[in-house]
Amino acid sequence: MRVIFLHDVERVGHEGEVADVADGYARNYLLPRGLAVKASKGALRELEERRSAIERRDQQKRERATSLAQDLAQKTVVVKATVGEGQRLHGQVTALQIAAAVMEQLEIEVDRRDIEIAEPIRLVGDYLISARIYKDVYAELPVSVVPDRLPKDDAEDEDIPEKLAAPAQADADAAEDTIEEEMSQTDSDTEAEPQVEQPATDDTIASEDEAEQAE
């Protein structure tokens, strides 16, 4: 079916364009939603009458897209990827990953199908990716691919302070236990010390004699 687009439909057609689409797609999607009308003679005449307004809106969209493309060129999108030996990725960075990073970091929606990756990205580094913003307006988007985690050697280096602190703490605990054991032994020796019998004095002997005479 030949239709006239009343609104922009991503990757299908833009406002004011006349194109042939599948009958089912037109009847079940475009026409019920008011996105297009059948390209009848009356509709084509009306289209020409509205042509200047359509072109004016198209120019405004193009200007906004150009401004957005300039802004994107000044930003860098970071994509994290799993890295193996030699900074080589496990697999490659996809357009879907870049589109998701753009949305998450810049809050700008870019269709993954509008992202063009000239060569497969399989290494960590900086890249310049082309993304279509509107019709023939493209943005050159800087993309930085970084490891999703630290290399093994760096991770081990971060653990060194903890590894060094562990033996020192163990030594301190051992010394504290030794001191406690010595103190405990000292207390035991004190408790176990025998009582020394005091020698008898003259006063003590006299008192004993008096006690016997009284009896």
Q: What predicted TM-score, i.e. pTM, was given to this entire model?
A: 0.64
The CA R_g of the chain, rounded to the nearest whole Å, is 44
Q: Give the whole-angstrom CA distance, residue 78 versus residue 70.
A: 18
DSSP designation for 11: T
Residue 18's DSSP bridge partners are 4
Inter-residue contact 109 to 122 (CB < 8 Å) = no
Q: Give the whole-angstrom CA distance, residue 82 versus residue 145.
A: 10
Nearest in space to 131 (alpha carbons), one of 157, 160, 104, 99: 99
Instruction: Using DSSP bridges, classify how beta strands 88-93 and 121-123 pair: parallel, antiparallel or unpaired.
Output: antiparallel
Nearest in space to 140 (alpha carbons), one of 152, 132, 151: 132
- For the segment 12-70, what is each residue's pLDDT rounded down to a tens digit? 999 999 999 999 999 999 999 999 999 999 999 999 999 999 999 999 999 999 999 99
pLDDT recorded at residue 56:
95
pLDDT recorded at residue 72:
94
Q: Which regions in the chain score pLDDT beneath 70? A: 150-215
Torsion of CA 149, 151, 154, 160, to 10 degrees: 80
pLDDT recorded at residue 87:
84
pLDDT recorded at residue 149:
78
Count CB-CB contacts under 10 A for residue 21.
18
Nearest in space to 73 (alpha carbons), one of 120, 138, 119: 138
What's the length of the chain? 215
Q: How far is CA 207 from CA 199, 212, 215, in A?
A: 15, 9, 13
Residue type, 195: Q
Cα angle: 137, vertex 121, 72; to 5 degrees: 30
Q: Give the whole-angstrom CA distance, residue 130 versus residue 98.
A: 11
Pull the structure tokens for residue 215.
């009896």
CA pseudo-torsion sign 48, 50, 56, 59: negative
pLDDT recorded at residue 176:
61
pLDDT recorded at residue 173:
62
Task: Report the CATH number of the 71-147 domain.
Answer: 3.10.430.100
Task: Give the right CATH number for 2-49 from 3.40.5.10, 3.90.1150.10, 3.40.50.1820, 3.90.420.10.
Answer: 3.40.5.10
Where along the chain do its domains lie?
A: 2-49, 71-147
pLDDT recorded at residue 152:
58
Q: Give the whole-angstrom CA distance, residue 9 versus residue 15.
A: 8
pLDDT recorded at residue 196:
46
3-state helix, strand, coil in the chain (%, to 5): 50, 25, 25
